[in-house]
Amino acid sequence: MENTPSRPEPQPSYVKLAMRNMVRKGSKSLLHFGLTTIGLLTVLVALAYLTR
């Protein structure tokens, strides 16, 4: 009779948690993603314009 401790369930990865959260929140996540993308592109275009 072998006494092996049961292994705890591995924690889900951050990517899996983020995907689950994105599916649950739906349009709010897409809105934030869109705003982040537009903001980042604006910063990159502004830097490209200022440093030309």
pTM of the model: 0.53
Tokens of 45: 């275009």
- 12-43 pLDDT, tens digit per residue, is 789 898 888 878 887 888 899 899 999 999 99
SS3 of the chain: the string is: CCCCCCCCCCCCCHHHHHHHHHHHHCHHHHHHHHHHHHHHHHHHHHHHHHCC
Question: What is the structure's pLDDT at 39?
Answer: 98
